[in-house]
Structure 1
Amino acid sequence: MSPANPVAGDERRRLVEDVIQRRILSTELRPGQRVNESRLAEELVVSRTPVREALLRLEGQGWVLFDHGRGFVVTPLSTDEIRETYPIVAQLEQLALTSTGPALRGLAPVLSEINGEFGASTDPARSHDLDARFHRTLASRCGNGRLIALLDRHWQALHRYERFYMTHPDDHRRSVRQHDAIVAAIASGDVASAADQLVDNIIGPMHVLLERLR
C-alpha cells in the first residue's frame, strides 16, 4: 500500500479550516456554539482527522476552544480581548505608517481606490474584506517584516470583531470618512495627521464594540 499523500492531507485540513472560519464569521456558528466534528466531516466528505487538525490550528489562533464536556466550541466574544488588542494594533499600524518614509505618499491613489470600493459596498463581509485590505495596504511598504508579522497575528485576533462592527451602516460610513481623512493627509504629506487619524480609526471601533457587548 502506498503511503498517504501529505499534501492532500494538508489541503483537506485547509479546506475544513476555511469552512469553519467562514461559518464563524457569518455567525452560522455562534460564539459558544459546539462544532460538531462528525457532522462536519460527513458534510465535507473527509475523515475526522483533517477536521480535528483544523480545529487544533483554529484553537491556537483563538477561533475555537476545547471544552472537556462539549468538545470544540466557538470562542465567545470577549471585552478583555477587545480592550487589550485594539490599542496594540493602533500603535503597530501607526509605527508602520510613520516608518514607511517617502513610499507612503505613493500609496495614496491605491488607498483611495480601495476606500471607494469600501464606501460603495453594502455587504458586511465584503466591507470587512475591503477595510482589511485598506489597512494591510497602508502598512505594506514599511519594510519591517517582523512588524507585519505582529500585525498579521493581531489582525487575525480582531477578525470576528471587525466583521461584527461592519454590520452597522453608520459605523461603516464613519470608517469611510476616516479613511478619506487618512488618505488626504497622506497625499498632502502630513504624516503626523495621517497617523493621528489612523489611531482614531482603529480605537473608535473598540469603544463601539465594548458598548455593544455590554
Structure 2
Amino acid sequence: MRDKVDRGVSLGAQVADIIRQRIVRGELRPGDRLTEEGVAEEFQVSRGPVRDAVSQLSYEGLVEVRRPRGIYIIGLTADDVEQLYSLRAALERLAVNRAAEVRDDEAWQPMRDCVERMAAAADEGDHPAFQRADVRFHSLFYEMARHPRLLATWRQYEPTFAALLDVTINHDDDLHESAEAHRRLYDLVRGEDRGALERELVDHLKRAEDRMRLELLSRS
C-alpha cells in the first residue's frame, strides 16, 4: 500500500519521515537513486516539500544530492550507527544531568506518564505505542534541561533515532524488560546517585546501539 501524507502537517517533514524509515529499514539501499519528480508523484505533493525533505535527510547524512543526476541513498553503516550513538550519549548525559537538577515533582509528571504508558504497552504488546512513549521519554530530558541549544541539536536528530527505534523495537516479543529499564532510569534521575545514573544511561544507550548493529549485520 502506498504511504500517504496528512495535508494538515508539514508535508516536507512527512515525506522525510517516510523516506527515512525506508532507509533505516533497509527498503532503500545505499546507491539507490530517487528523483524529485518521482518522489513528488508518489506522495502527490509539489517539489517544494520534496526539496525540504531531501535537505533534512541530507543534513542527517542519509542521502546525497548529485545534481543533475538525482538523489542517492547513502544509508546507514556500522560507523554511522557508532557516530550517532556516541553523539547521543554526549548530548543525553548533559541533558540528564541538567534535568536531574529539577526538583519540582510536578514537572516530572509527563515522564512518569511515559513510564506508565510503556508499561501498559508492554502488557498489551503494542509496539507502536511503546515506541512513541520511549521517544517522548528521552525527549523530555532535553526539554527539562533548560538548554535551548542542546534541545535544538536533539530535535535535529530525534527523527533519526525514532526511526532506529521503530526498527529495533519490533525484534522484541516481550517489551517488559525495556519498560523496566526506563522505570529504573527514571528512578535514578530522581535520586541522588549521579554516578549510578550516568552508568545506567551509558548502558541504556549502548544496548540500543548494539541492537541496531545486529540489525545491520542481519542484512549483510
| Bin for the TM-score computed over the shorter chain | 0.7 to 0.9
What SS does the corresponding residue of 2:195 show, helix, strand or coil?
A: helix
Unaligned runs of 5+ in 1: 1-10
Match status 1:57 vs 2:53 = no
Which structure is larger by alpha-carbon Rg, 1 or 2?
A: 1
Q: Which contiguous aligned blocks of 4+ residues in structure 1 show a shift greater than 4 angstroms?
A: 26-29, 67-70
Pair 12,187 (structure 1): closer, same or farther in 2 beyond 3 Å = closer
| Structure 1 counterpart of 2:17 | 21
What SS does the corresponding residue of 1:72 show, helix, strand or coil?
A: strand
Counterpart CA distance in 2 for 1:44 and 1:157 is: 21
Pair 128,74 (structure 1): closer, same or farther in 2 beyond 3 Å = farther
Counterpart CA distance in 1 for 2:156 and 2:13 is: 17
Contact 2:115 2:183 in 1 (8 A): yes
Contact 1:108 1:186 in 2 (8 A): no
The share of aligned pairs that are identical, in percent, is 23
| Structure 1 counterpart of 2:178 | 175
| Structure 2 counterpart of 1:185 | 188
Deviations 1:110-166 (A, max 9, x none): 322202212333444433222111011123222222222233334344343222111
| Structure 1 counterpart of 2:28 | 30
Contact 2:12 2:51 in 1 (8 A): no
Alignment: residue pair count: 204
Counterpart CA distance in 1 for 2:103 and 2:213 is: 32
What SS does the corresponding residue of 1:103 show, helix, strand or coil?
A: coil
Q: 1:164 aligns with which of 140, 162, 167?
A: 167
Query: Structure 1 length normalisation: TM-score?
Result: 0.76
| Structure 2 counterpart of 1:116 | 116
Larger mean Cα displacement after TM superposition, 108-117 or 63-72: 63-72
Shift of 1:82: 1.0
Contact 2:20 2:57 in 1 (8 A): no
Deviations 1:58-87 (A, max 9, x none): 322334223579622443122101112212
What SS does the corresponding residue of 2:204 show, helix, strand or coil?
A: helix
